[in-house]
């Protein structure tokens, strides 16, 4: 018989974790498979770790500080050895009722990944919705990766988990890298239930996640620099023709405004370009340092 593990990152979830986990376990049991739950406490500042230690039949890993959800997923996946692994949020925004359905779908076909895809986003504030749209559109046009509706709620077979763990990079983007591996995929649509609490993500975390996702999948921003350079070159060429014409036709030099504009324009393009190059350099530097993506402070095995 196949075995199942659940990888669940948790960050400051103390109040509701026990109830949520009971619900998740209930649905996991419906699969009829022996199931192991792996909680990764991403450096919570509340009582989450105490709860994790106290809960029966869970394995738990605690980070020394908040390293982010991607690192937590990675640590959880490293702790698995089961034939099937499901990665999900702990706040029931990933409906646990899908667990048996995902396993059923895996049984039916020779799928390597079963993904829960957001049919409709939950009632979110407009700026988050807009942010998600801009990000998904950017990823689609710049990186050719379609992430609309994609979530981190996925069932993975052992071979997919191993392929994911074999990737060399320290900075990962789970929901983009899994499709990148090219597994045979099936989808289950779901509606995100209205949130029972505020999101754990800060605005700057979301921006940095988006930028890191984009730069790890696309070189288009770097290529845009070349394009911008080319366009400014053509512009300056036309402008120089005009300037020469003005000079040789004997008219007084009136071009102060033009000069200022050109300096500002070229200067801003240069700075944006340097910023983009800097962004990629920082990522290369990050990978070169070969620092671990997280540090484990404590661990707990079920008794
Ligand atoms: N999470 C985490 N580290 C973080 C932020 C979140 O491990 O720094 C976990 C969190 O406990 C939850 C999941 O990632 O299980 C999704 O987080 P949240 O519900 O806050 O995000 P949203 O649903 O808004 O995407
Ligand atoms: Mg959530």
Mean pLDDT (whole number) for 51-78: 96
Beta strands in the chain (DSSP E): 4-10, 35-41, 58-63, 84-87, 113-120, 154-157, 185-191, 296-300
**What is the average pLDDT score of the chain?**
90
Position 124 confidence tier, pLDDT thresholds 50, 70, 90: confident
Write out pLDDT tens, residues 79-109: 999 999 999 999 999 999 999 999 999 999 8
152: CB partners within 8 A, 6+ apart: 69, 73, 87, 88, 89, 94, 174, 175
With beta carbons less than 8 A apart as the criterion, state whether 90 and 21 touch.
Answer: yes
CA distance 115 to 102: 8
- CATH number for the segment(s) 4-198+296-300: 3.90.550.10
Write out pLDDT tens, residues 204-258: 888 888 888 888 888 888 888 888 888 988 888 888 888 888 888 887 666 777 7
User: Residue of the nearest CA to atom 12 in ligand 1?
Assistant: 89
pTM across the whole model: 0.87
With beta carbons less than 8 A apart as the criterion, state whether 10 and 73 touch.
Answer: no
Q: Three-class SS of residue 110? A: coil
Ligand nearest to the CA of 153: 1
194 CA → ligand 1 middle, Å = 15
Largest CA distance in the chain: 93
Q: Alpha carbon 73 to chain centroid distance?
A: 11
Pocket of ligand 1 from Cβ distances under 6 Å: 9-11, 13, 42, 66, 68-69, 72, 89-91, 93, 199-201
Residue 219 has phi, psi (to 5 degrees) of -105, 5
Q: What is the pLDDT of residue 254?
A: 67
Give the C-alpha distances (Å, rounded to integers) separating 45 from 17, 72, 275: 14, 15, 34
Give the C-alpha distances (Å, rounded to integers) separating 54 from 19, 36, 90: 13, 16, 16
CA distance 8 to 282: 29
Q: What is the atom index within ligand 1 of the atom nearest the CA of 89?
A: 15
Q: What is the atom index within ligand 1 of the atom nearest the CA of 195?
A: 23
- Pick from 37, 38, 45: nearest CA to 14: 45
Write out pLDDT tens, residues 163-181: 999 999 988 999 999 999 9
Half-sphere exposure of 221 (CA within 13 A, CB side): 20
């Amino acid at each position: 018989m196949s075995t199942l593990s659940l990888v669940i990152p948790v960050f400051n979830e103390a109040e509701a974790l026990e109830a949520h986990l009971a619900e998740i376990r209930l649905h996991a049991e419906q699969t009829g498979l022996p199931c192991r739950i792996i909680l990764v406490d991403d450096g919570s500042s509340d009582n989450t770790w105490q709860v994790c230690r106290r809960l029966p039949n869970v394995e738990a890993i605690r980070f020394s500080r908040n390293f982010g959800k991607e690192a937590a997923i990675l640590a959880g996946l490293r702790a698995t050895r089961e034939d099937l692994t499901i990665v999900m949020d702990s706040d029931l925004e990933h409906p646990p009722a899908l667990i048996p359905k995902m396993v059923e779908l895996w049984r039916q076909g020779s799928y390597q990944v079963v993904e829960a895809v957001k049919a409709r986003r939950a009632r979110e504030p407009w700026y988050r919705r807009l942010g998600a749209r801009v990000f998904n559109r950017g990823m689609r046009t710049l990186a050719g990766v379609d992430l609309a509706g994609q979530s981190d709620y996925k069932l993975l077979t052992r071979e997919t988990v191993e392929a994911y763990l074999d990737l060399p990079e320290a900075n990962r983007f789970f929901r983009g890298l899994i499709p990148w591996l090219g597994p045979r995929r099936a989808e289950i649509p779901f509606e995100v239930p209205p949130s029972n609490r505020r999101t754990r993500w800060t605005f700057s975390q979301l921006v940095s996640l988006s930028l890191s996702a984009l730069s790890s999948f696309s070189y288009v921003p770097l290529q845009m620099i070349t394009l911008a350079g080319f366009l400014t070159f053509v512009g300056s060429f036309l402008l120089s023709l005009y300037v020469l014409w003005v000079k040789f036709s004997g008219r007084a030099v009136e071009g102060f405004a033009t000069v200022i504009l050109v300096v500002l324009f070229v200067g801003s393009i240069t700075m944006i370009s340097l910023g983009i190059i800097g962004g990629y350099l920082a990522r290369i530097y990050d990978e070169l340092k070969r620092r671990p993506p997280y540090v484990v402070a404590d661990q707990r095995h079920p008794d």
